[in-house]
Amino acid sequence: MDAYRQQLHRYDPDIETAIRGEEERQCDGVEMIPSENYTYPEVLAALGSVLTNKYSEGYPGRRYYGGQEFTDRIETVARERACALFRAGHANVQPLSGSPMNQAVYFAFLKPGDTVLAMDLSHGGHLTHGAPVSHMGKVFRFERYKSETAQGGAIDFVGLMARAKEVRPKLVLCGYSSYPRDYDYAAFKQVADEVGALTMADISHIGGLVAADAMRNPMDAGFDVVTTTTHKSLRGPRGGLILCKAEHAKAIDSAVFPGLQGGPHMNNVAGAAVTFKKAAEPDFKTYARQILANARALAKALTDQGAALVTGGTDNHLLVIDTVASFGLDGRAAEEALDRIGITTNKQIVPDDPRPPLRPSGIRLGTPACTTRGMDEDDMRRIAGWIVDTLRAPDDAAAIAKRHTDVRAFCRGFPVPGIAA
Catalytically annotated residues: 55, 57, 202, 229, 232, 238
- Contact between 147 and 349 under an 8 Å Cβ cutoff? The reply is no
Distance CA 237, CA 418 (A): 13
Q: Name beta bridge partners: 30.
A: 343
Q: How far is CA 330 from CA 96, 356, 412, in A?
A: 34, 10, 30
DSSP state at residue 229: E
Selection from 242, 229, 199 nearest residue 92 by Cα: 242
From start to end of 80-125, where are the E strands?
A: 90-92, 115-119
Selection from 331, 354, 341 nearest residue 396 by Cα: 341
- Contact between 236 and 271 under an 8 Å Cβ cutoff? The reply is yes
Position 407, amino acid? V
CB contact set of 396 (below 8 Å; sequence gap of 6+): none
